[in-house]
A and B are shown apart, each in its own frame.
Chain A
Amino acid sequence: KQEVTQIPAALSVPEGENLVLNCSFTDSAIYNLQWFRQDPGKGLTSLLLIQSSQREQTSGRLNASLDKSSGRSTLYIAASQPGDSATYLCAVRVSNTGKLIFGQGTTLQVKP
């Protein structure tokens, strides 16, 4: 059974720091991996999607990597800002129908 784990559960950094969020999964047979952002009390916003054949994706200050063989993904945030404060969730797609298995999330606080 696929399990997704995110470490740490919470992270607090000063503004301007570069940081890495980690995601690991137990079964390497995935279609893709998606990183989401969730603000308190809100829905999920998709940040980056990496197909199983890809190694990384970039969008602005965000870079996500995927190492399927080791069951790991990282989300790198460069030059963090207070507006980056949110919960970050990773999820793996395990079937053609799009079913996602989510990690518990990392709650990030960026202090001014």
Chain B
Amino acid sequence: DVKVTQSSRYLVKRTGEKVFLECVQDMDHENMFWYRQDPGLGLRLIYFSYDVKMKEKGDIPEGYSVSREKKERFSLILESASTNQTSMYLCASSPTLARPYEQYFGPGTRLTVT
């Protein structure tokens, strides 16, 4: 069974803090993704990575950065958290070369910035 884990289920941070969200997958997947989910806006892609040290901007990268130093770990960084970054953050992974190319999600981190 594929497992995608996220470091925290709930997180409360103050405005201006630097925030790290960690995601780890155990299936040797090449691709990893960070989404945020907001009511009425659905899931929106922040960043994705298709290999170690490689990253691509998604649809809403502003205010975020990412790090992928090891294949199994993909970190999302909020350099200076703001209240409009309060959201549910979902990490996902998928293979490139092996069918069926399913995308597997972690349980999510609900971040509140006060």
Contact = CB atoms under 8 A, between A and B. Distances in A.
Contact of A49 (B43, B58, B95, B100): B100
A7 B58 CA distance: 25
Contact of A51 (B94, B100, B110): B100
Interface stretch (B13-21, B76-84, B101-109): B101-109
Interface in A46-104: 46, 49, 51, 89, 91, 93, 96-100, 102-104
B42 A49 contact: no
B33 interface: yes
A46 B103 contact: yes
A88 to B, nearest CB: 13
A105 to B, nearest CB: 7
A43 B105 contact: yes
B98 to A, nearest CB: 11
B50 interface: yes
Interface residues of A, number: 24
Interface-central residue, A31, A42, A45, A89, by most chain B CB under 10 Å: A42
Contacts of B99: 51
A28 interface: no
Contact of A102 (B31, B42, B50, B108): B42
A31 B90 contact: no
B56 interface: yes
A32 interface: yes
Contacts of A91: 43, 103
Contact of A97 (B42, B50, B104): B50
A73 B101 CA distance: 18
A10 interface: no
Interface in A8-47: 31-32, 34, 36, 41-46
Contact of B107 (A31, A42, A89, A99): A42
22 contacts: A31-B101, A32-B101, A41-B88, A43-B90, A43-B105, A44-B90, A44-B92, A45-B105, A46-B102, A46-B103, A46-B105, A49-B102, A89-B43, A91-B43, A98-B33, A98-B48, A98-B94, A99-B45, A99-B48, A100-B33, A100-B103, A103-B42
